Structure 1
C-alpha cells in the first residue's frame, strides 16, 4: 500500500512542477500543458499569469510578444531642440505615450522622404503592429501633429532589402490615422523578414512615440492575439506560431477566420484564403452564383447556378430566385406555384346562375307587389260592422260624396235588406230575379220557410 501511495504522490508533484514552470501556460486544456507560460511570476493553472508578464510579453494572459522591443533602429535624420535629440531608439524603449518630451518620441528632420527602421534579432512572420502617434499640436499652423502620419507605409524586408509592403494608410484627416493605430497587413497575409520600415510618401517630419510588432504565443491568433484556437468557434486549428488559423470552421474564411463564406452548396467550406466555393455541381445554393456564391441571380433567373428561367405567366416578375415560385400570383388562365397549370374558364354555369337569379328576384318582387295591392283594397283590414257601414255608404246612390255611383243597391245583400225593411223608403222596384238571389244567400236553400220574415 505504501509504495502505491508514494507513486501517486510523486506523479502529483511532477504535474505541479510542470504546471508552475515556464513550460505551461495551462490554457485549454490545463492537464497537458501545451502552451508556454510567459509570466514574470507564478503561472496559475486556471487564470494564466498571476502577476506581470515576462519582458516583451503583454496582454490579459501574456499571450503576445513585442519582437521590436529594444531592437536596433535607424531613421532618416534626427531632430533636436534645446532639450535633447529625438533619436530612433525612442520608438522601441517600451515607454508608451503620445507627447514628444514626456514619452519621449522619435523625430526626424523635414526630409524629402522621412523613414524609420528596426532590425529584429530573428526572422518573423510580421502581420500585426501597433503604433502610438503624437497628439500635440505643432508646426507654424499649430495643428495636431498626428496628421503627419497620414499615408504612411509599413514594409517588411530581409537584411534591409527586398521590402514587401504590408500596410498603407489611407487617412486624410487633420487629426491623422488615430492616437493608437492597431493594424495588420492590408491583404491579411503575413510578411516574413527581419527588417521593418515605416516611411512617409512626401517630405514631412516623422514622429513615432512607440512601435510594437506582435507575435502571438502558441494557441493564440487574431489582430491583437486576442483569439484562442481551442475556444474560438471560428477556428479549428492554429499554426505552430499562433500567427494565423490554419483551418476555419465551415462558413468562415480569412487569416483570422473572421469573414463569412458565401452560399456554397450545402454549407460546404469555402477556400480559407480566397473564399472560393468548391467546384461542385452545383457550386452554389439555389438563387446564388459566382466563384464565391455571393451574387444573387439576375432578374428572371432562378435555381442552382441561376440557369432556370422564371415562368412568363408570373403576374409579377421576377419570381423567387431560390424556389422559382410566382409569389405575386399568376396571369389569367394560369395557376399553380409556378403558374405552369393552364385552364379555360367556362362561363355557362355563371350565365345560368345569373338568369335564374334574375327570374327568382322578379318573382319575389311580383309577389310582394300583389300582396301589397291586396292589403290596400277597401274593407280588407276592417271588422264586419265597419264593413257593413262602409258598404251602405258606398252604395247609397244619394250620398253626396259618391254622386256617380251606378251600382244597383240590390247587388249587396246587406244594403238591400236594409232597404226593403225600411218602411219610410220602400223599394218596390227590385227585380224578382235579383230578389231571389239575395233571399237565397241570406236565408239558405229553404227560402219558402223564411219568406214571410223578409216580406
Structure 2
C-alpha cells in the first residue's frame, strides 16, 4: 500500500513541476499559454520560458521598450539609425533609414568605397583616390583627379586652364592678357605709320600743283615780254 502511495505522490509531484505542453498549463492543463511565449510556459504559473521577437515580461505581454528589439527585447537598436536608437521592435530595422555613411538592415555596415551619404545611396565624384571620399558628406579629402575641381570633384576644369595648377593660375591669366595688349600696340603702330605715309603723300602732291601754276604764270609773263620786245623792235608794223 505504501508503495502505491509513494508512486502516486511522485507522479503528482512530477506533474506539478513539469513543463506544460506547447499551448497549455494549469492543474488540468486546460489553460492556454500566453500567445507571445516563444515555445512553452511553466505548467503551474503559465509564465513564458521565453518571448517571441518584440515582446518581454513574464507573460510576454509587454512590447519592447523604445530602443530595443528582437527575441525577449534583448538587442539594442543601432546608434547609426537616422533616428538614434529607434528601430522596429521585431526586426531591428532603423526608423527613417541609416545615418550618412552607414547602410545595412540594422545600419551596422560602413559605406563601400566610392559611395557616401544616408544608406550609402550617393556615388562619390572624381576623387584623386576613391578611398579618400568621405563616407558621410562625399568630399574628396586629397583632391581631385586630373580635369576636375570642387570639393566633390564633379566640376570639369575649363579647357584653357586645364594645364594650369593652383600655383600657376595667375601666369595662365596674365600671359594671354599681355600678348593681347602687345598685339594691339603693334597694330596701332602699323596703322599710325600707314596714316602718316598717306598724309605725306597728300602733302607732296599739293606743292606739285602749285609749281605747275607758277610755271604757267612764268610762261605767260615770258610771252608778254616777248611781245613788248617785238613792238619795240618794229614799231611801224603795228600802225
Q: TM-score, normalised by structure 1?
A: 0.25
Q: Which has the higher strand share?
A: 1
Q: TM-score, normalised by structure 2?
A: 0.43
Q: Which has the higher helix share?
A: 2
